[in-house]
Amino acid sequence: MSRLITLLLGGILMMMYGYALEKPADADNFYVSDKVVKEEVSFPTLYNLKIAGNLFKPALMDGQRYPAIIVGHPMGAVKEQSANLYATKMAEYGFVTLAIDLPFWGASEGEPRNSVSPDLYSEAFSAAADYLGTLSCVDAERIGVIGICGSGGFAISAAKIDPRLKAVATVSMYDMGAAVRDGLNKSVTMDARKAMLKHASEQRDIEFSGGEVEYTSGTVHELTDKSTPIEREFFEFYRTERGEVTPPGVSPETTTHPRMTSFVKFMNFYPFNDIEMISPRPLLFIAGENAHSIEFSEDAFRRAAEPKELYIVPGAGHVDLYDRTGLIPFDKLNEFFSKNL
C-alpha cells in the first residue's frame, strides 16, 4: 500500500508542479551483501543506556584481529538509513563494522523518545568502542569512525576526548549546533534564536503539565509548490521507498523529528571547538560538490590540525551521499582507513 501511495503521490506532484519523485538508479540504501555476515547486538553506554547495533563481519575471516569502524546514522534517522549501507560496504573491504542507533532513536534506549542530547549521542561512539574492544576478532588499537550527517559532528565530539578512536571520516556532515544557532549560511538572526528559546521554554511548561508533545524540524510529510529544494531532497529519501523504514518502536509520524523542548540543547553544542585535539589522528571530511551542508565540512576542515583532508564528490548533493553507491567514494574510505588503522 505504501508503495502505491508513493507512486500516486509522485504522479500527482509531477502533474501539479512539474517534478517527479524518481529514485536514482544507483540509490541502494537497503543493500545486502553475501560477502558479509550481519549480527544484531547491544551494549551499554557509560550511563547504562542500551545501544542497539548491527555488527557486520567479512564472511571469510582467518582468526586474526581486524580493524573496526563504527558508523553513525544521520540526525533523526536510524541505523537502517544509510549507516547499514556504509557498514556493509566497508565490511566487504575487510573491516569489522558496527552501525549504531543513537540514544533516543531506533532500537536504542532513552526516554522520552526523539530527545536531543549531544553529549549522550557522542557517548554512544565511545560506548561502541568499549564493545568492539571486547571482541576477539577486533584489534582494539585500530578502531575508526564514520559519521554521516549529524553523526559527523557527534563523532568529532567523541574523538576529541576519546583517543581510542584512531581515525574519523565524516560524510555530508552537519554541525547541528551551528545549524540550530545560525541556520544555513548564517541565516538565523539573534531575535529568531531568542524566539526559539522562548517557545521551547513555554513548551516545557505545557508538557510538564501534561500537555501535548511538540515535535520540530525534520523532514516534511508532503510536498507543495512552495516546498524548498532542501525539503524535497530529504522527502525523496525519508518519505519514499528509497529510504523509508519503520523498525519496531519507530513511528513514521515522528521519524526525523526531535522534540522541541530538547531541540534547543543543540544551541550549546560546539563540536568543532578544540577540534585540533584530535591531531595527530587523521580526519577525512567528505562532502558533495552541490551539498547545501558543505559549509560545515569546510568549517571543520579549516579548524582541524593536520593530518586532514577535504574530499569533494563532484556533482553530489547532501542526501546523494546517504545511499547513491555510484557517487559515495567507498574506495576513498577504504584507502583512508586501510592507511590509518
Q: Report the percentage of the chain scoring pLDDT > 70.
A: 94
Each residue's pLDDT tens digit, 161-218: 999 999 999 999 999 999 999 999 999 999 999 999 999 999 999 999 999 999 999 9
Residue 246's pLDDT is: 81
Work out the pLDDT band at 252, boundaries 50, 70, 90.
Answer: confident
SS3 168: strand
Let me know: does 117 contact 104? Beta carbons within 8 Å.
yes
Mean pLDDT over residues 129-135, rounded?
A: 98
Mean pLDDT over residues 26-31, rounded?
A: 98
Q: Which of 185, 48, 174 is nearest to 109 (CA)?
A: 48
What is the sign of the dihedral through the CA atoms of 229, 230, 233 and 236? negative
Let me know: does 77 contact 153? Beta carbons within 8 Å.
no
Residue 12's pLDDT is: 38
Residue 312's H or E segment, with its range, is: strand 308-313
Strand order in the sheet with 308-313: 36-44, 50-58, 96-100, 66-72, 138-148, 165-171, 283-288, 308-313
Residues spanned by the domain of 56: 2-340
CA distance 99 to 54: 5
Q: Report the percentage of the chain scoring pLDDT > 90.
A: 91
Residue 18's pLDDT is: 39
- What are 170's three cell numbers? 565524516
Classify strands 165-171 and 36-44 as parallel, antiparallel or unpaired.
unpaired
Residue 4's pLDDT is: 38
CA distance 283 to 168: 5
Question: Residue 102: which CATH number?
Answer: 3.40.50.1820
Number of domains in the chain: 1
List all residues 6 or more positions away from 305 whose beta carbon is below 8 Å from its beta carbon: 275, 276, 278, 279, 280
Q: How far is CA 319 from the centre of its chain?
A: 11
Residue 138's pLDDT is: 98
pLDDT at 57 over 90: yes
Burial of 288 (0-12, 13-18, 19+ CB in 10 A): buried
